[in-house]
Amino acid sequence: MPHEAYPWFSRENNKLIVALRQSNEPLRKFISIRLVLDFNGFGDVMGFEIINLKYFAGTKILNNLDFESLTSSGMKCSYNEETDVFYLRLPDDPLYVLVSSGNVLDQRSVDGKLFLDSEERLVRIEAEY
């Protein structure tokens, strides 16, 4: 599924996809990992946490993350070195912001995958819920 701009995200049919960068090669390597998904009052995914990211995926994965491009796309992300927790919040849906406080109302732990390219860069994150 080619896109013109990166990063992008999709949350359809109970599947979350966050594409961080384009890859011109097949993504054959992935790391299975648990994510904690945050949901709003409508049941839409608002963001997620990956607990123990460096422990499960290695330190190199953080070196290649472009936090600036994620932020400029409307996503908000952070990494806490002390707790080894990565957090990414998706851009707010304008309709949802008008009718709610935008607070997280539910969380669910799910299996996810981190897809890496041949240079060990994080290309895509996927989770089904």
Q: pLDDT tens digit string along 18-71?
A: 999 888 888 889 999 999 999 988 888 999 999 999 999 988 888 888 888 888
Q: How many folded domains does the chain comprise?
A: 1
What is the per-residue pLDDT for 101?
A: 54
Instruction: Quote the domain boundaries for residue 97.
Output: 13-128
Domain-embedded: residue 3: no
Does 96 map to a domain? yes
Q: Looking at the domain assignment, is residue 49 inside a domain? A: yes
Examine residue 24 and state whether it is found in any structural domain, yes or no.
yes
Q: In what order do the strands lie in the sheet with 15-19?
A: 8-12, 15-19, 122-128, 106-116, 29-39, 45-51, 85-89, 76-80
**Model's pTM, two decimal places?**
0.85
Domain-embedded: residue 4: no
